[in-house]
Amino acid sequence: MKVVVIHGPNLNMLGIREQNIYGPIKLEEINKQMKTVAEQNKIDIEFFQSNLEGEIIDKIQECLGEADGIIINPAAYTHTSIAIRDAIAAIQLPVIEVHISNIHRREDFRAKSLTAPVCSGQISGFGPFGYHLAMMAILQIFTEIQAIKNQQNAKVKQN
């Protein structure tokens, strides 16, 4: 199983930017913690950060046939990017959307996510722990997909 973690614009500034909202933790530390959980669960994990919409879209498209699921924080593109939403919808993989802050209790323009409706689910407001929750969620989804595949194989063998 392979998970690709996509971090959107300005998340490379974590630990520096608006610490009162995003806390002191750096992106490398978040990635390190996710890698530990992935290794414990025998999941192959890849990290990608970009400040550019097109690069994020290219990465999402590359996941088709390469990855089993995506964890994405589209950052500000969450609220603006129909193109990222369309890319997520196109690949038909389990995608978990993460926000460090609670986007529903900030400015009005942050409350709307264009991307969440095409994701399996959204985790928002738990700080960096949200990425850990996203790992748990994607592991659960993989377990469910595997159980369905096993059932289908058993049926094929019966027939």
Q: Is 10 a residue that touches ligand DQA (CB under 6 A)?
A: yes
Q: Is 103 a residue that touches ligand DQA (CB under 6 A)?
A: yes
Q: Is 76 a residue that touches ligand DQA (CB under 6 A)?
A: yes
Which helix (H) or strand (E) segment holds residue 109: the answer is helix 108-111
Q: Is 132 a residue that touches ligand DQA (CB under 6 A)?
A: no
Site for ligand DQA (CB under 6 A): which residue of 100, 118, 134, 137?
Answer: 100
* Of residues 31 and 41, the one with the C-beta less far from ligand DQA: 31
Site for ligand DQA (CB under 6 A): which residue of 7, 59, 85, 99?
Answer: 99
DSSP state of 71: E
Q: Quick count: other Cβ atoms within 10 Å of Cβ 21?
A: 11
* Of residues 41 and 101, the one with the C-beta less far from ligand DQA: 101
Is residue 77 among the annotated active site residues? Answer: no
* Of residues 5 and 75, the one with the C-beta less far from ligand DQA: 75
Task: Please tell me the distance from the alpha carbon of residue 68 to that of residue 134, in angstroms, as a whole number.
Answer: 14
Exposed e or buried b per residue across 93-112, where buried means at least 16 C-beta atoms within 10 angstroms of its C-beta:
bbbbbbbbbebeeeeeebee
Q: Which residue from 39, 153, 26, 38 is spatially nearest to 100, judged by alpha carbons?
A: 26
Give the binding-site size for ligand DQA (rule: CB under 6 A): 10
Strand, helix or coil for residue 28: helix
Task: Please tell me the distance from the alpha carbon of residue 94 to that of residue 119, in angstroms, as a whole number.
Answer: 7
Q: Among 7, 77, 99, 132, which one carries the catalytic annotation? A: 99
* Of residues 50 and 101, the one with the C-beta less far from ligand DQA: 101
> Count of alpha carbons within 13 Å of 52, Cβ hemisphere only?
4
Q: Would you tell me which residues interact with ligand DQA (CB under 6 A)?
A: 10, 73, 75-76, 78, 99-101, 103, 110
